[in-house]
Structures are given as structure tokens and as C-alpha cells.
Chains A and B, each alone.
Chain A
């Protein structure tokens, strides 16, 4: 018996001069969802490619169910499923043929993979399109087939690389429900995402990754508590912004950030804070020209944790 389904220790990968993954360590408990959250080019996909035995690490170790991804690569492949931005389905095969091919290549027997393929086609609402070549599928259908292909062999550990990128909201919600169902049945899931909302809704634990490094590894709830659940942005006259910041800092507390003419407040209690802030500004005789109330985004996470914008927004390569 082991404690962790996925154990990553000091994982490092270089591409020439670029340090894509820099001493990354984390553990994923069995039957939980772990989220790797970060912008494009942060090293999320490289981590997944190492964990799924596609790439060899330059340093550190990673184990899946106790099996080393380098030394026991073949055995690891029997226990994992991979879907996402770089894993693909064959456009010339039908949906059914794709799933059956995955079953055959996963060394299953026809009597196992045939009914499993039908079950997955039905579960992903692809039965009607099962006989059509995938090149005729819409983007959403293709993505659903891609996830289905990862599930043919019922892998106990599932890797989803940005699974909802490019999905419409309905398909995205369905995929989220499916992931929850798989986890309830005991599957361990590691997913990458650029969306804090997704990580928050789905994951038990989140590692925020930037420039190949884990900058925070915590539960979703704890991360959220640090950030607050609501972000309020107030736009005021540029000339008055500094005075407003002082007014707000004095009345609603130290949770104020200023960026040009925009004042940003975060809180676990949005409505209360909003009333207090508007009240204070009104009392100081300031006209508020713009107002936005929203959930924290990945940008907010980065602003909060690193004090800077994510790498990609600072102009680094994606």
C-alpha cells in the first residue's frame, strides 16, 4: 500500500537553454483531483509529458502507483490515460474505430474493448456520429472523443492536459461532471488548466506553476482564502487615484491594490466590502466612473503570489 498515486520529486527538464521544468515536486493522493495551474509555457504540458513516459526527465524522479516513469515506463503505460491539447485522435478513422484502436493498442481483448467503446460513445453522446470519420466532427465532439480515448482501458490514473480549452460552456460542464464521476469511482486525476475557476471547481489540490517552478502548492480552499472570493475593480479619475487608495486603505483595510486609475479590492465578503468602499469614496467626494465585480482570475493569482503578471503576459515565449 502506498500513500500517493503520483509522487513527483525534484523533476527537471531542459530544452537546450530553456529550463522548462525546474525541480518540481508534488504528491497526488489516490482518488483526488490535482490541478497544475499556470499560463502558457509555464511547464505544465512538459510535466504531463514526463509523467506519461513520453519525455525523459533530465533530473528528479516521478512515480505513478509506485512505478518509476523511466525505469518502469512500460508498466506505467498500463495504468495511465492521457487526453488533451497534444494527444490526438485519428481524423481518418471513425469515432468507433478510434476507440477500438486505442483498446487494441492498450492490449485489451476485443470482447473487452468493443463493449467499452460503445459504452463510452454513448456516455459522450457520440453514438450517432460513431460511424463518421472524425474529420467531420466539430471541435467539441473531437475533444470529447479525445477524452473518451483516454478512458478505454479504465486507467486508474488519468492525465488531462487543458481538457476544456476550446469547449463551449455546456460541453465544459459535462466534462467537469464526468471528471467528478470518475474521481468518485476512485480514479486519480491530474489536470492542467489556465483557468482558476476550473481548478477551483474541480480540484482538491492546486499547484501554481510559473517558469517551470511550483510557486505554491495548496488546497483549492486555502488558495481561495488567500485570494478572497471576490475581486472588485473601481475606476476613478487618474488624478484622484492616489488619494482614493489612501481613503480606501483607511476605511476598508489593506486589501487595496492600485494600477493606474484602477483600484482593486479582494475579499471573502464581496457585497459588504463593495458597500463600504462606495460609501467611503462617496464620503470623500470621489466620482466612481467604472465598476466591475468578478471572481479572481489566474492573473490575480499571479499578481498576488509573484507580484507580477504571468510569464506569457510579460512577453515571454508561450
Chain B
């Protein structure tokens, strides 16, 4: 009888980080190979910019204090909305991998357990850099102006990207809970819609009915939009920024372990 023995398994340093980057790279290649994934995720916010800038601007302007331009109010909201919609891609992409059986293979490999989720959210972060930059360019074309200079503006964009990253973890957990892309998309909408629309992203909260204002004022989209507005347009900054960062921390602290737990206990494709 042949002698069989398990080979010693050499420990490798930074394996978790390396595996996450391998997966992130693989996800970004998909964006390059299937450009329509990126095109459609930029068309949709573009339509929003044009709609709100030109169709609803008159109404929006009425809700604002004199001297403030609606387009300046609108664009930070659009950036935040783009980040939330972008996170839905996390759900669809991850659920697709789940359905095709790619996750099965990954789970049989000696790779870090965290890598599939971390790689997916990192890739979507990179993708959001592109989409948010594009939206900023379009914003400048339709009349949006920053008031506090480039550094504050970039800090605001950084906040938007961090928010998108946090949201990715919510949608990653949703995707692993449902397991197929169609359901993941359908399940994401009811999470996403109240966050984006019952918020200060497009319209000041003061215009909403009283019972909604409490939620609308303190939920993460509004807090982030307010923080970004404060960084770009001026106003009390520190409170909003800290609140936003606290939201991100809470979201990741809850949904990253939840997603990781779902990943470890997936029952099948």
C-alpha cells in the first residue's frame, strides 16, 4: 500500500489581505470585460441629476433658504445616492457567484474565509471611485460649485466612498441570505428606497410630514448627505461628520460579521 501523508501546510503572511485583493482584482476584470455593468450603473444616476436639476429644481428651490442654489444642495445628495445604488451591485454580483457555484469552489480552496466578501466590497469601492468622480464632473457641468476649496471637497467625496463601502456590507449580507441575483435585486430595493428617498438627499427634511422627520433626519443617508454638504458648502461640519462616521462603524460592525456568518453557513447554490 502506498504511503499517504498530509503535506505540511506552510503559513503565509498577509494571506487574508492577498486573497481579498485577488478576489477584488477578479471582480474589477469583470467590469472591464462587461462594460455595460458600469454604463448602466452610471446612466441611472445621470438621469437623476438631470431630472432633479431641471424638472424638480423649481420645487426644490422653494424649500431652500434664500441665496442657496438647489443644484448645490442636490449634488451632495446625488453622490450619496450613487453610493447606495452602487452597493446594490454588491448584492447582485455576490448572489450571481452564489448561484453559479463559484462560491462553492472558493469555499473548497485554502483561502481566507474573509476574502470573498472583503474582495467584493473593495472592488465595489474602487468602482464607486469611478462613478462618483464621473458624477462630480457632470455636477460641475450642470452648474454645481464647491464653496470651501478642493481639500474639503475631496474630504466630502472620501466620506461618500466610505458610506458606499459600509452599505456594500449590508447588501452583501442580503445577497448571501437570498442566494440568487434576481431575488437579491428585488430584496435590495425595499432596503434602498426608504433610505434614499425618505432622506435629505434631494429635498430638505423640513418639507416632510412630522412623523417622518425623525427618521429622515437621523438615518445614515441624511446624516452623510448633511456631512458632505457641510464639507462642500460650509456650515457646522464636525457634528455631522462624526455622526456619519459613527453610522459607518455601526453598519460594518453589524453586517460584516452577519455576512461572514452567512458565507460560512451557505447551504448550496
Chain A: residues with CB nearer than 8 A to chain B? 1-5, 15, 29-31, 49, 52-55, 64-67, 74-75, 77-80, 82, 85-93, 97, 101-102, 104-107, 133, 149, 156, 186, 188
Contacts and interface: CB of A to CB of B under 8 A. Distances in A.
Interface string B1-23: 11111110110100100110011
Interface in B31-50: 33-34
B29 A93 contact: yes
A186 B34 CA distance: 41
18 contacts: A30-B2, A30-B3, A31-B2, A64-B6, A65-B5, A65-B6, A67-B6, A74-B9, A77-B110, A78-B9, A86-B104, A86-B268, A86-B269, A89-B102, A89-B105, A107-B10, A107-B110, A156-B7
Nearest to B100: A88
B218 interface: no
B6 A77 contact: no
A92 B111 CA distance: 21
Nearest to A149: B105
Contacts of A104: 18-19, 22
Contact of B107 (A53, A85, A92): A53
A54 B5 contact: no
A66 B5 contact: yes
Contacts of B68: none
Interface residues of B, number: 36
Contacts of A156: 4, 7
Contact of B4 (A30, A93, A107, A149): A30
A85 B101 CA distance: 8
Nearest to A87: B105
Contacts, number: 110
Q: Chain B interface mostly helix, strand, loop or mixed?
A: loop
B186 interface: no
Contacts of A89: 102, 105
Contact of B106 (A66, A80, A105): A105
Contacts of B107: 53-54
Interface centre among A1, A4, A87, A101 (most CB of B within 10 A): A87
B267 A15 contact: yes
Given A78-B110, A92-B30, A49 B104 contact: yes
Contacts of B9: 74-75, 78
Contacts of A78: 6-7, 9, 110
Contacts of B1: 3, 29-30
B26 interface: yes
Contacts of A101: 22, 26
Contact of B104 (A1, A4, A88): A88
A91 B100 CA distance: 10
Closest CB pairs A-B (n = 6): A92-B30, A88-B101, A77-B110, A30-B4, A87-B105, A52-B108
Given A87-B104, A102-B109, A107-B10, 12 more contacts: A30-B1, A49-B104, A65-B4, A75-B9, A82-B108, A86-B269, A88-B102, A92-B33, A97-B29, A102-B105, A107-B12, A107-B111
A55 B108 contact: no
A137 B189 CA distance: 34
Contact of B6 (A75, A133, A186): A75
Contacts of A79: 6-7
B108 A105 contact: no
Nearest to B21: A104
Contact of A87 (B6, B7, B101, B266): B101
Contacts of B109: 77, 102, 105-106
Contacts of B100: 88, 91
A90 B26 CA distance: 9
Nearest to A159: B108
A250 B33 CA distance: 70
Nearest to A101: B26
Given A5-B4, A104-B22, A92 B108 contact: no
A93 B5 CA distance: 35
Contacts of A1: 3-5
Contact of A54 (B19, B26, B34, B104): B104
A106 B10 CA distance: 12
A313 B215 CA distance: 56
A150 B7 CA distance: 18
